[in-house]
Structure 1
Amino acid sequence: MTARWLDDTQQRAWRAWLTASELLPRALDAQLQRDAGLTHAAYVVLAMLSEAPGRSRRMTDLARRANQSQSRLSHTVARLEARGWVRRERSVDDGRGNLAVLTDAGWDVVREVAPGHVDAVRAALFDPLTAEQTAVLRDALEAVVEALDPDATRRVAHGGDVETP
């Protein structure tokens, strides 16, 4: 069987993706560390809780939304609990599931940090692009997501029930 190698355009796109996928999280982590002493992974947990009805989510749902394993999420939530930004509770619905709940102090952190984080995302990802390039990037990424998850069972909808700071 003959390998189907990437053509020059595909190779350049792949290499650019690899580099961007390393540099973008690093830049966002640096901003969050500087502004709030937070990792990007911890901020995503806070953000996912801030967007949830009642500012709480089942731990299993939160792990999926934050793209973290159950074990990693448990450690992240423990660190956020130690800072008083999140608390864990038993689900009142069935008494079995565990919820992570954003505290008022955690909500204050999200409201304080979110504007700088949005500025960092804009500066790192969108400012270098034209409006047309942004639309092409969106379309390209949506096509990749569709190919990776055609039945939409692994992706998480972003938006909708968003509570903005």
Structure 2
Amino acid sequence: MGRTGADGARPLDGREIRVWKSFARSLIVVPRTLEADLLEHSSMTLGEYQVMVMLSEAPDHSSRMSELASDVGLSASRMTRLIDGLRRRGWVEKRRDGCDRRGAIAVLRPDGLAALEEAYPAHLAAVRRHVMDHLGSMDLETLAIALEAMSDAR
């Protein structure tokens, strides 16, 4: 494991290995933990919650489905299944895009906004408990910049 990679990348040192392993594990554990908490308090998955938050913050509570998929890192087919599930619950509606008839627009309905507002306090407490409380006095601005750079480097 200590050899230089095929592209000449230098090996990780001990501190970097610890950071990488901890980060990789947190990518699995934290979303599972947050989703379990959401399901317990609202019967909403983390993906559904994230999409509904994005819709709640969008102008007219609506967004192109392709943009939503990109913003949350889902495939178009996965986004369609997620939106279809939210439609069955009466939380979101799907409309044809007036400008591009091939595209679809997801719109957060009033019942969806109410469900989101109901789920928010418990989810906020879980995010604080499982994420923010562990960051202590860390420089959050620097952390945010690094995380944004990682997610933008697709």
TM bin (shorter chain): 0.7 to 0.9
CA displacement, residues 52-106 of structure 1 (integer Å, 9 cap, x when unaligned): 1000111111111221100000000111110000111112344442111111100
Unaligned runs of 5+ in 1: 149-153, 155-165
CA 1:129–1:2 in 2, change beyond 3 Å: closer, same or farther? closer
Partner residue of 2:96 out of 90, 93, 99: 90
Aligned-pair identity (%): 37
Shift of 1:33: 0.5
Partner of 2:35: 29
Aligned residues: 148
Partner residue of 2:69 out of 60, 63, 66: 63
Partner of 1:81: 87
Q: d(CA) in 2 for partners of 1:139 and 1:53?
A: 26
Runs of 4+ in 1 over 4 A off after TM superposition: none
Task: Report 1:1-165 matches (<5 A).
Answer: 2-3=4-5, 4-145=10-151, 148=153
Q: d(CA) in 2 for partners of 1:41 and 1:116?
A: 16
CA 1:140–1:92 in 2, change beyond 3 Å: closer, same or farther? closer
Report the TM-score, using the length of structure 1 for normalisation.
Answer: 0.81
Q: Give the letter for the 1:6 counterpart.
A: L
Q: d(CA) in 2 for partners of 1:52 and 1:139?
A: 23
- Tell me, yes or no, if the aligned pair for 1:81 and 1:87 is still in contact at 8 Å: yes
Q: What's the RMSD between the two structures over aligned residues? A: 1.9
Unaligned runs of 5+ in 2: none
Q: Which has the higher contact order (CA 8 A, sep 6+)?
A: 1
